[in-house]
A and B are shown apart, each in its own frame.
Chain A
Amino acid sequence: MAQFDRLTERALRGFASRTSRRSVFSILGGLLAGAAALPLLPVARGAEGGTNSDDPNSGLVPPQYSGNPQDPGDRTKCDYWRYCAIDGSLCSCYGGSITSCPPGTEMSPITWIGTCRNPADQRNYIISYNDCCGGVAWGRCACQNNRGDRPVVRPQTNNEITWCFGTKSQSYTCTVALILGVAIEQK
């Protein structure tokens, strides 16, 4: 027991001789400030950034808005209105845009065409989904909404098909969404 007391006394005296009371405060202060700074790290921002926690693309690319109230929504998100019948990856996430292919890829002239309702004016627009081909498919911003999609026995109205016909490369990269016109309202 006396040996235990001696060992404890020596350890505590050694600790006291190596440290000051001020250094204890500095360590405690560092811990407090560090804890407060943790939510500012990018990891925490990524987790909180998206409004839709199911969206795996949250925080991957900066948002893209038209700036026009007649064309609302973030074009890097799957819930943007023109993507209602898309099946693929969004070119807006690959250095392209809603109407242009990323550098190094070629837009297929052969397309899958559907209609989507614009929430700004509640009208249906005819949308052409052109695949961009010849680049690397990273699988980023994958989006499957499939409105109006038909089984593959009707290939011209099936969006599972990679529409890289008429391009040099048949390797799929991503898809853009062009407006062809406004659909006639049918009852």
Chain B
Amino acid sequence: MAVGALSLAPLAHIARIGEAAESTPPSDAPAGVMNAQLAWQNWALNCQGCHQPDGTGSANAAPSLAGNVAKFLRIPGGREYLGRVPGVANSPLADAELAEVMNWMLWRFDREDLPSNFHPFTAAEIAQLRTRPLRLEASPMRNELLKKTAASGPP
């Protein structure tokens, strides 16, 4: 699948329809993201429905990412957890697209908690992690990891 060029046209098109877009696509690209517009689109089509446009999630569908997702990178096992959660491991996205969405999502929803030595997810790393998807154990594992992030203190 070839990737289309980033265009300034989309916002103008929405403006012509005369309806405010619910969420505005980003304009700058963080580390590990080749095309922020495409990363946002893949997020919108595959993740946002449950995690919500602002990443706050919902009690019945998907946990919150806003203000906490990058904290998992600061503790042992956290990075692996992010690559194995059901929504990531079972995503229909290809490994490279998924790695890009992960990197975009970490920056979009919790850039304050990104470690200074953060290295972006790669397609190869995602491919390896998603071979071991978490199922029912995802929720208790999340709770355990969050306790550790709380204990590790501010970045």
Q: Is the interface of A mostly helix, strand, loop or mixed?
A: loop
Given contacts A70-B17, A180-B21, contact A126 B45 (CB under 8 A): yes
B19, A180: Cβ atoms closer than 8 Å? no
A113 to B92, CA, bound (A): 14
Q: Closest chain A residue to B56 by CB distance? A: A109
The interface size bin for chain A is: 35 or more
Q: Which residues of A contact B4 (CB under 8 A)?
A: 184-187
How many Å from the CB of B133 to the closest CB on chain A? 14
Is B38's CB within 8 Å of the partner chain A? yes
Contacts of B24 in A (CB 8 A): 181
- Report Cα–Cα, A24/B24, bound state, in Å: 76
B50 within 8 A of A: yes
* Beta-carbon contact of A181 and B10 below 8 Å: yes
Q: Looking at the complex, which one of A112, A150, A154, A183 makes contact with B41 (CB distance below 8 Å)?
A: A183
The answer to whether A181 and B61 have CB atoms under 8 Å apart is no
Q: Is B14 an interface residue (CB 8 A)?
A: yes
When distances are taken between beta carbons in the complex, the residues of chain B under 8 Å from A115 are 45
Docked CA distance A47–B38 (Å): 47
* Chain B contacts to A: CB under 8 angstroms: 1-4, 6-7, 9-11, 13-14, 16-19, 21-25, 35, 37-38, 40-41, 44-46, 48-50, 52-53, 58-61, 87, 90, 92
Subset of 23 A-B contacts with CB under 8 Å: A66-B17, A66-B18, A68-B17, A70-B16, A71-B18, A99-B19, A110-B50, A113-B44, A115-B45, A121-B13, A128-B22, A163-B49, A165-B58, A179-B14, A179-B22, A181-B24, A181-B41, A181-B44, A182-B9, A183-B41, A184-B6, A184-B41, A185-B4
